[in-house]
């Protein structure tokens, strides 16, 4: 890669090409795949999730050929961290949509605008975050401590359909979304729901972006890994919607990942964890807790109705 016209870790041609890919993926997903469908097919959702993941892997291969093996490994690690933490985000979306009584078509429309807004917000957060870390080294310790606090909070978090709605969601239901149900919500209510989704993503971005910044400071790698994860978020929601409640132990694994990257950032001046180790740790933790959720029974199973 030539050194001319370098911007935020990559050439302008790379930035243009990446956003062209994003534009094509958004067009195919939003304008073609969903244009004539009134319901979301689980098979189609899984198919598109696999397509986006495969393209992310191909993008990592491209980075390996053009920028070197290290940026490619950092991209894959960042993509896995962002994608895995997004699953916890999906739990919140599921509870939110259930509490508001949104049908599948309404959920799809809300997530459409949510994804578009998330791309803009993540871009702002990433460029600001990398710029601050470049200027103020001590922020590494702030971000690292924040990730450890987030890990503890997630470890204590209880997931499931019976979870109590958050204070912002209770306020939204009481003051703004009264009457929203199976019928199509009014424009004002729809916009408020979209804003609630954006606010939720904003809160999760405060955890996920520092987590990726603990892996790499390359703005281009952080940005592209985040955007690829977000592009697959909507289809992943519908692909996992019937199984999210069964992944009851996954948040423990996500907490371990947050704690790992937090310690990695705090101890980075004394010891650099190889990116291959980080990638292996993330994959192993996700696999262990996903399988544990699948093959273990709930501690307090629902009682069987008496005949």
pLDDT digit string, tens, across residues 174-193: 555 555 544 444 556 777 77
User: Residue 55: its pLDDT value, please?
Assistant: 92
Q: Is residue 232 part of a domain?
A: yes
Range of the domain at 198: 20-293
Query: Any idea which residue has 């950032």 for tokens?
Result: 265
The reported pTM is 0.75
Q: Is residue 4 part of a domain?
A: no
Query: Which uninterrupted H or E stretch holds 47?
Result: helix 42-66
Q: Is residue 262 part of a domain?
A: yes
User: Residue 97: its pLDDT value, please?
Assistant: 78
Q: Is residue 3 part of a domain?
A: no
Q: Is residue 14 part of a domain?
A: no
User: Residue 307: its pLDDT value, please?
Assistant: 38
Q: Is residue 27 part of a domain?
A: yes
Taking the CA of residue 104 as centre, how many other CA atoms within 13 Å lie in the half-sphere pointing to its CB?
A: 14
Residues pairing with 10 in the sheet: 7
Number of structural domains in the chain: 1
User: Residue 61: its pLDDT value, please?
Assistant: 93
Intervals of the chain under pLDDT 70: 1-9, 31-40, 157-188, 242, 244-245, 297-307
User: Residue 240: its pLDDT value, please?
Assistant: 77
**The dihedral of CA 178, 184, 186, 188: what is its sign?**
positive
Q: Is residue 280 part of a domain?
A: yes
SS3 11: strand
Long-range CB contact pairs, 28-37, < 8 A, 24+:
29/231, 29/234, 29/235, 30/112, 34/108
User: Residue 2: its pLDDT value, please?
Assistant: 45
What is residue 148's DSSP assignment?
Answer: H
Q: Is residue 11 part of a domain?
A: no
Gap between the Cα atoms of 187 and 175, Å rounded? 15
End-to-end CA distance of the chain: 71
Gap between the Cα atoms of 240 and 253, Å rounded? 17
């Amino acid at each position: 890669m030539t050194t001319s016209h370098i911007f935020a870790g990559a050439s302008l041609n790379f930035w243009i090409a990446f956003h062209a890919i994003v534009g094509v993926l958004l067009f195919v997903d939003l304008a073609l795949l969903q244009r004539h469908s009134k319901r979301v097919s689980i098979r189609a959702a899984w198919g598109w999730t696999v397509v986006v993941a495969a393209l992310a892997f191909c993008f990592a291969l491209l980075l390996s050929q053009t920028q070197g093996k290290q940026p490619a490994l950092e991209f894959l690690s960042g993509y896995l961290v962002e994608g895995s933490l997004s699953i916890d985000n999906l739990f919140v979306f599921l509870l939110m949509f259930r509490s508001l009584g949104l049908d599948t078509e309404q959920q799809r429309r809300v997530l459409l605008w949510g994804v578009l807004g998330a791309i803009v917000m993540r871009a702002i957060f990433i460029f600001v975050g990398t710029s601050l870390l470049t200027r103020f080294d001590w922020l590494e310790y702030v971000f690292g401590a924040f990730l450890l606090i987030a890990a503890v909070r997630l470890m204590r978090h209880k997931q499931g359909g019976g979870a109590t709605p958050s204070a912002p969601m209770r306020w939204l239901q009481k003051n703004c979304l009264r009457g929203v149900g199976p019928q199509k919500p009014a424009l004002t209510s729809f916009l408020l729901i979209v804003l609630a989704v954006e606010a939720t993503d904003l809160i999760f971005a405060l955890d996920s972006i520092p987590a990726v910044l603990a892996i790499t400071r390359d703005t281009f790698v952080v940005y592209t890994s985040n955007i690829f994860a977000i592009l697959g978020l909507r289809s992943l929601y519908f692909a996992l919607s019937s199984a999210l409640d069964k992944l009851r132990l996954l948040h423990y694994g996500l907490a371990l990942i947050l704690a790992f990257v937090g310690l990695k950032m705090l101890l980075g001046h004394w010891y650099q964890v190889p990116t291959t180790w980080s990638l292996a740790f993330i994959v192993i933790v996700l696999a262990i807790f996903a399988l544990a959720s699948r093959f273990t029974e709930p501690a307090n199973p629902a009682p069987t109705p008496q005949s």
